[in-house]
Amino acid sequence: MRVSSLCALSDDSHRTSCRFASRYTADPRDRFVRTTIVDFATHKLLGGHEVVKSDDESLACLSVRFPLEFDFSDPNVRSLGRKQIEHHMRLCTIAKSGFEVLFSTVGSEPLLPKAAAGAMADCETNPVRLLSTLLDKNCINHGERGELVTALLVMQARDATLKRGDKSKIWVYVCDFLESLIGGPMRTEYYGSCIG
């Protein structure tokens, strides 16, 4: 099996219990169905909108693209969690009476990250600003060793790599990704085996 076939969206779509992917892979030649399914996933993720219009929608997109652990123990922050569950396809895993305790997660749907990436590419929201605002409210776990910052850097490097290359791919070459992550051209003395 080739790496490119492992990275293909149609292969990913068969690995989970999917709401959208069975239609996506039904006829690979039908671009209308594929585009419509991704548009539908975007519409569901954004709570009925076609483009990102609010911080809640941006947060929904970010939480689908990398794992965000919410801490809704503060009563002022719980409304944020309820909005994510009610409008942005976040799944409620634990809720006690009066919503004093509320835990949630994102479903395992391979087309939602694709839809979220497309929606975030078209919006003006700065993910760093949004996450720093939420960190100030102590409602997002940033990790013991900077896991949140690392995930954000990796996501932005991947997006920057895709902007420079073929936009139809969902995977990137390691050397191109490292160049985006580091922020400069790759030097052959350090990465000679990557550069062909």
- Token pair belonging to 54: 């609010």
Which CA distances in Å does 10 have to 13, 25, 26, 188? 5, 6, 10, 35
Is the model's pLDDT at 6 over the cut of 50? no
Average pLDDT across the chain, whole number: 76
| Cβ density class 159-183: b for 16+ within 10 Å, e for less | bbbbeeeeeeeebbeeebbbbbeee
pLDDT-based confidence at 9, cuts 50/70/90? Answer: very low
Is the model's pLDDT at 28 over the cut of 50? yes
pLDDT of residue 33: 67
Dihedral pair phi/psi, residue 83, rounded to 5°: -60, -40
For residue 3, the one-letter residue type is V
Q: Which of 1-5, 32-36, 179-183 has the lowest average pLDDT?
A: 1-5
Contact present, 62 and 68 (Cβ < 8 Å): yes
pLDDT digits (tens, 9 = 90+) for 161-187: 888 766 667 778 888 888 899 886 655
Q: 181 or 97, which is more confident?
A: 181
Find the mean pLDDT for residues 112-128: 86
pLDDT of residue 14: 45
Is the model's pLDDT at 122 over the cut of 60? yes
pLDDT of residue 159: 87
CA distance 95 to 81: 11
pLDDT of residue 77: 74
Is the model's pLDDT at 3 over the cut of 60? no
pLDDT of residue 11: 42
CA distance 111 to 170: 11
Is the model's pLDDT at 29 over the cut of 60? yes
pLDDT of residue 148: 87
pLDDT of residue 144: 85
Show me where the domains of the chain are located: 3-141, 145-196
Q: 49 or 76, which is more confident?
A: 49
